[in-house]
């Protein structure tokens, strides 16, 4: 499907006039679910602090992560209480599910203290909804090879084979199968039955506000997908029936306790990619099997792929949240440390019509960001973000760096991303920027606009020129070479930036005609407002 080219903010602004409005309804007599669009910021917690707690103290555990969310704009926590379907951070009664816990957590459990309930209570005491986040096919054990007892006992349940598919010591060039070999095969009834027992236990033991079915962890559900083909119609039918069963279970729990149990799903950015992995999202919406859509895995927040999913969700009255992953940029480009980047991501999400922003991997402030609590206090609305400094980027194709497994391969549309190989004369990169510069100028807030482009692999005498949105960039304001990267900096005028999709092309003129490995690997657009 062709990506829409957006040239005006007015249309998208009109789409979001109803964003962030709470819809209050009386609890219905039927099994239909109550929905809300008031979730400004959804915060994902992988449960790591619970699993690995170092002190047998609920207070210490809560203060290590969740306490930072008090009095912030975070409306919902999506909390994961398991590694995979073979291990949980609580004592499960489901056959084959082992306790995975530090000695401190085990001590609390022995004392009769329930950290899961304490987590729920903390969120509710702070007016935060909490969903149980089910990672539908977690494959972290694909990399370590240390699989749990359940998978050891049932190797026939796996899509791959450890002896055949486990990645080599050098994982930089690992294949997709080597990344996801430990995936469970959803085509097998015993697998689906085991997962359903796990989900049912979590629903019935605790009163969650909802469930997140994270199909982004991991989308390798069926043999066809594992083999590199598209899921079949039968695969999609199987998953739809399974989704229907989960909805029925959530409805039953909701009616028993007389309060909603919503269902959120993480799906690829486009309908085509969702169908590829077996998710018939349009059918799910038609059957009312979904209450909240989380679009994508957050690795490409500046690419406009999620517009289609936003449109589909809006047509069915289902809110869509854009996910932003703190791994954006990868370990070599730690842009997550810049609050300006998160502001830009939130601006794009809001102005493109989404109902809020979903933060993933933002639980570790030491690793992922150094801007304290601004991340949870500045991203809720256009008003809060207006006239604040921002950093817009061209996204990266992570597969070019040997990064990630199915969460990247199956979820990322990989057109017009970095790196931009200069040998390809027809190639270009794209990014979205919904900064309403014209409005800023009309209010006397004209920003300084700086474009930085980094190119690797240039040889002596090579010359490169750039075009942004059909504007040829002339002399750069600065040109710096460091560690094999030449960075060109340009001061841009407002008319050179589109409110929506922006394109950048590069033209290389070589002194000698020979094959070139030169590539643009950095593209940053800074918006700086005077105080």
Question: For residue 331, what pLDDT is reported?
Answer: 53
Q: Which of 211-215, 395-399, 519-523 is predicted least confidently?
A: 395-399
Query: At 304, is the pLDDT very low, low, confident or very high (cuts 50, 70, 90)?
Result: low
Residue 14 pLDDT greater than 70, yes or no: no
Give the residue from 188, 141, 142 showing the smallest Cα distance to 167: 142
Overall size of the chain counted in residues: 531
pLDDT in tens, 355-401: 999 999 888 776 666 667 788 988 888 888 999 999 999 998 877 76
What is the C-alpha to C-alpha distance for residues 7 and 277, in angstroms, rounded to an integer? 32
What is the C-alpha to C-alpha distance for residues 207 and 380, in angstroms, rounded to an integer? 27
SS3 for 258? Answer: coil
Question: For residue 9, what pLDDT is reported?
Answer: 43
Residue 20 pLDDT greater than 50, yes or no: no
- Positive or negative, the Cα torsion across 116, 118, 122, 125? positive
pLDDT in tens, 115-167: 999 999 999 999 999 999 999 999 988 888 889 999 999 999 999 998 888 88
First to last CA, the chain: 42
pLDDT in tens, 427-443: 899 999 999 999 999 99
Domains, the chain: 9-409 (3.20.20.80), 420-528 (2.60.120)
Q: Which of 145-159, 184-198, 279-293, 507-521 is predicted least confidently?
A: 507-521
pLDDT in tens, 221-261: 999 999 999 999 999 999 999 999 999 999 999 999 999 99
Proportion of the chain above pLDDT 90, given as a percent: 65
Which of 325-361 are b and which e, b meaning 16 or more Cβ less than 10 Å from the residue's Cβ?
bbbbbeeebbbbebbbbbbbbbbbbbbbbbbbbbbbb
Q: Which of 306-310, 411-415, 467-471, 497-501 is predicted least confidently?
A: 411-415
What is the C-alpha to C-alpha distance for residues 493 and 438, in angstroms, rounded to an integer? 11
Query: At 190, is the pLDDT very low, low, confident or very high (cuts 50, 70, 90)?
Result: very high
SS3 for 346? Answer: helix
The mean per-residue pLDDT over the stretch 16-21 comes to: 35
Give the residue from 142, 174, 138, 148 showing the smallest Cα distance to 161: 142
Residue 7 pLDDT greater than 90, yes or no: no
Q: What is the average pLDDT score of the chain? A: 87
Question: For residue 1, what pLDDT is reported?
Answer: 33
Listed as own residue / partner, the contacts of 24-28 with beta carbons closer than 8 Å and 24 or more positions apart are 27/258, 27/259, 27/260
Q: Is the separation of the CB atoms in 276 and 222 below 8 Å?
A: no
What is the C-alpha to C-alpha distance for residues 464 and 422, in angstroms, rounded to an integer? 9
DSSP secondary-structure letter at 17? T
Question: For residue 35, what pLDDT is reported?
Answer: 54
Give the residue from 332, 419, 1, 398 showing the smallest Cα distance to 176: 398
Nearest-Å Rg of the Cα atoms of the chain is 24
Q: Is the separation of the CB atoms in 284 and 240 below 8 Å?
A: yes
What is the C-alpha to C-alpha distance for residues 181 and 142, in angstroms, rounded to an integer? 6
Question: For residue 307, what pLDDT is reported?
Answer: 81
SS3 for 167? Answer: coil
Query: At 271, is the pLDDT very low, low, confident or very high (cuts 50, 70, 90)?
Result: very high
Question: For residue 168, what pLDDT is reported?
Answer: 77
């Amino acid at each position: 499907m062709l990506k829409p080219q957006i040239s005006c903010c007015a249309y998208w602004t009109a789409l979001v006039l109803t964003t962030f409005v709470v819809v209050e309804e009386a609890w219905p007599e039927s099994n239909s679910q109550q929905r809300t669009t008031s979730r400004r910021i959804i915060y994902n917690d992988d449960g790591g602090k619970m699993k690995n707690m170092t002190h047998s103290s609920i207070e210490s555990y809560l203060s290590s992560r969740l306490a930072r969310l008090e009095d912030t704009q975070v409306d919902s926590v999506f909390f994961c209480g398991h590694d995979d379907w073979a291990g949980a951070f609580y004592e499960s009664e489901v056959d084959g599910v082992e306790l995975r816990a530090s000695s401190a957590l085990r001590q609390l459990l022995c004392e009769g203290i329930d950290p899961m309930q304490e987590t729920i209570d903390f969120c509710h005491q702070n007016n935060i909804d909490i969903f149980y986040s089910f990672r539908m096919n977690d494959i972290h054990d694909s990399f370590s090879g240390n699989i749990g007892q359940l998978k050891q006992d049932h190797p026939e349940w796996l899509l791959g084979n450890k002896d055949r598919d486990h990645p080599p010591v050098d994982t930089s060039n690992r294949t997709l199968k080597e990344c996801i070999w430990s995936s469970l095969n959803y085509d097998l009834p015993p697998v689906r039955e085991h997962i359903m027992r796990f989900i049912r236990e979590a629903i019935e033991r605790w009163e969650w506000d909802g469930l997140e079915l994270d199909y982004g962890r991991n989308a390798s559900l069926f043999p066809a997908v594992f083999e590199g083909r598209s899921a079949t119609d039968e695969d999609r039918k199987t998953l739809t029936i399974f989704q229907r069963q989960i909805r029925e279970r959530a409805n039953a729990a909701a009616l028993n306790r007389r309060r909603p149990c919503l269902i959120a799903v993480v799906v690829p950015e486009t309908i085509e990619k969702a169908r590829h992995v077996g998710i018939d999202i349009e059918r799910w919406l038609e059957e009312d099997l979904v209450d909240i859509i989380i679009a994508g895995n957050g690795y490409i927040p500046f690419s406009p792929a999620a517009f289609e999913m936003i449109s589909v969700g809006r047509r069915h009255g289902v809110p869509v949240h854009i996910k932003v992953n703190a791994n954006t940029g990868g370990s070599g480009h730690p842009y997550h440390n810049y609050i300006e980047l998160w502001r830009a991501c939130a601006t794009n999400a809001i102005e493109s019509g989404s109902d809020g922003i979903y933060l993933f991997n933002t639980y570790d402030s030491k690793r992922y960001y150094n801007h304290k609590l601004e991340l949870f206090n500045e991203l809720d609305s256009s008003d809060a973000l207006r006239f604040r400094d921002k950093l817009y980027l061209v996204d990266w194709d992570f597969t070019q760096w040997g990064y990630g497994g199915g969460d990247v391969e199956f979820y990322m549309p990989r057109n017009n991303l970095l790196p931009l190989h200069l040998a390809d004369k027809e190639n270009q990169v794209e990014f979205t920027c919904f900064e309403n510069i014209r409005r800023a100028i009309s209010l006397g807030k004209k920003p300084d606009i700086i474009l930085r482009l980094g190119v690797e692999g240039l040889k002596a005498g090579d010359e490169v020129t750039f075009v942004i949105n059909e504007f040829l960039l002339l002399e750069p304001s600065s040109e710096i070479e460091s560690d094999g990267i030449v960075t060109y900096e340009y001061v841009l005028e407002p008319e050179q930036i589109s409110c929506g999709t922006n394109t950048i092309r590069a033209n290389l003129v070589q002194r000698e005609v020979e094959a070139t490995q030169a590539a643009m690997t950095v593209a940053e657009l800074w918006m700086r407002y005077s105080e």
